[in-house]
Amino acid sequence: MSPQKEPRTYTLKELGLCAKHLDRRAVSITDRLVKAGFEAYLVGGCVRDLLLGLHPKDFDVSTNAEPEEIQALFKNCRLIGRRFRLAHIHFGRHIIEVATFRGPHVKHDKNTSHAHKDGRLLRDNVYGTLEEDSWRRDFTVNALYLNPQKGIVIDYVGGIKDHQNKTLRLMGEPITRFKEDPVRLLRAIRFKTKLGFELEAKTEAPMLEMAPLLNDISSARLYDEILKLFFNTKANTIFNLLRQYGLFEALFPQTELCLKKTASENPLAFINQAMTNTESRLKNNQHVTPYFLLAALLWEPVRRLTEQNRPSFNSDTQAIHAAANEVVAHQISRIAIPRRITTPMREVWALQPRFHKQIGVRCLRFLDHPRFRAAYDFMLLRAQYGEVDSKVADWWTHIQTLTPADQKLMTRQTNARHKRKPGKKKTESTPNAN
């Protein structure tokens, strides 16, 4: 595909778009920029999603005004970013990103553009024209510019055609473009799934081979990306595709190693189920937190290490703590999962052995533990795959339905049954092996 000299323009009506679906605040930003003599467009994901009848997550603005010129026009503007300088316009808690058109980077100017020896773009602050900006974006369907004042969409790259054919096409030479920014590999999977598009053959061909490039991406950026990958209603499909394209291994190497090494299908089914549960919660507008799903994603390495190291510790809890330390330390060197997430993740794991103790007052106190609910849900998931006896799972489900007096009675009865069975060990049981 070669660059077009003249853009194709389409009216909103021709594309079945309606001005009332555009974000008022984003349109008002373009109005002010245009009044000040600049060009300004709504661009990227918002145009792509509107064409599919989806509700865009955010509306980004693209303009030929430089960051300082944007700042001079808007009181509520902050300039951010070094690698990619941007203006953020604040509307209360809502932020609209306004980016200046980017042009091709000039090799010798380190202040504005800087590429690593492997081709990775470390800085991208060379400004350009709308046409140049179009070609600097990733996929053709992400390079559509909507002019709200004229009611038109400008397309230099054949994005509308690709959109109509449901094709995800990386612009330019795919190997170079993936090397420039390997996060595009993850974006390819995310958009393929979200939009239901097919990857164009040339785009898809080098992906498996390029997957290890993700190792060079900063752990902080990867954390942002995994939230986008896994906290949506298609998380499970994305997870399976990431594995298929060798990308999951670059993100969660310990988990992938376990999945590859085991003959049992349970560890994979366990993650698939956790993903499906997240999807259902999101579809039902229920609260989801990253820690539960991340705890599920890393459970198999933690469980295996616990089992392996168990003889060196006095209890399962101690062995789980030690395994969790090791697995989390390794994982955060790849993906910067913040401590506010790793702390509850560890708690959910460390509480698992307590479900095997159905005796005494400690179990009643456990019901009031702030992390009981998450740990219980996690235990139910384990029970689905044979890691916890279904009778144990049912016991915990039932006790929660009782009054405090009946709960006491239930623990006493369980206690008595245990006493009647001489030789029955009261110690914690090891997380079940597969």
Nearer to Mg ion, 58 or 66 (CB): 58
> DSSP class of residue 158?
S
Query: Are 87 and 95 spatial neighbours (Cβ–Cβ below 8 Å)?
Result: no
- Residue 137 binds ligand ATP, judged by CB under 6 A: yes
Tell me, residue by residue from 97 to 136, as one string, x for binding to ligand ATP by CB under 6 A and - for no binding: ----------------------------------------
Output the CA–CA distances (angstroms, integers) from residue 405 to 210, 367, 392, 399, 402, in the order listed.
61, 14, 20, 11, 8
The neighbour count for residue 163, using CB atoms within 10 Å, is 23
Report the Cα 296 to chain-centroid distance in Å: 15
Rg (CA), the chain: 26
Instruction: Please tell me whether residue 138 binds ligand ATP under the rule CB under 6 A.
Output: yes
- Any catalytic annotation for residue 58? yes
Instruction: Select from Mg ion, ligand ATP, none the partner in contact with residue 271, using the beta carbon and a kind-dependent cut-off of 5 to 8 Å.
Output: none
- DSSP H or E stretch at residue 75: none
The residue from 23, 49, 60, 133 that is catalytic is 60
Site for ligand ATP in 9-48 (CB under 6 A): 44-45
12 binds, among Mg ion, ligand ATP, none (CB under 5 to 8 A by kind): none
Residue 353 lies near Mg ion (rule: CB under 5 A) = no
Alpha helices in 310-430 (DSSP H): 316-334, 339-350, 361-367, 372-384, 390-399, 404-420
Provide the minimum distance between the beta carbon of 229 and ligand ATP in the complex, in angstroms, as a whole number: 10
Q: Give yes or no for residue 57 binding ligand ATP (CB under 6 A).
A: yes
Q: d(Cα 279, Cα 277) in Å, to the nearest integer?
A: 5
Q: Which is nearer to ligand ATP, 184 or 303 (CB)?
A: 184
Tell me the C-alpha distance between 223 and 182, whole Å: 14
**Which is nearer to ligand ATP, 183 or 388 (by Cβ)?**
183
Tokens, residue 329: 């330390």
- CB nearer ligand ATP, residue 195 or residue 319: 195
Q: Is 138 a catalytic residue?
A: yes
83 scored as a contact of ligand ATP (CB under 6 A) = no
Buried b (16+ CB within 10 A) or exposed e, 107-144: eeeeeebbbeeeebbebbbbbbebbbbbbbbbbbbbbb
The window from 26-34, 52-60, 280-288, 358-366 that contacts ligand ATP (CB under 6 A) reads 52-60
Active site positions, annotated: 58, 60, 138
Binding site for Mg ion (CB under 5 A): 45, 58
Binding site for ligand ATP (CB under 6 A): 44-45, 57-58, 60, 137-138, 142-143, 181, 183-184, 228
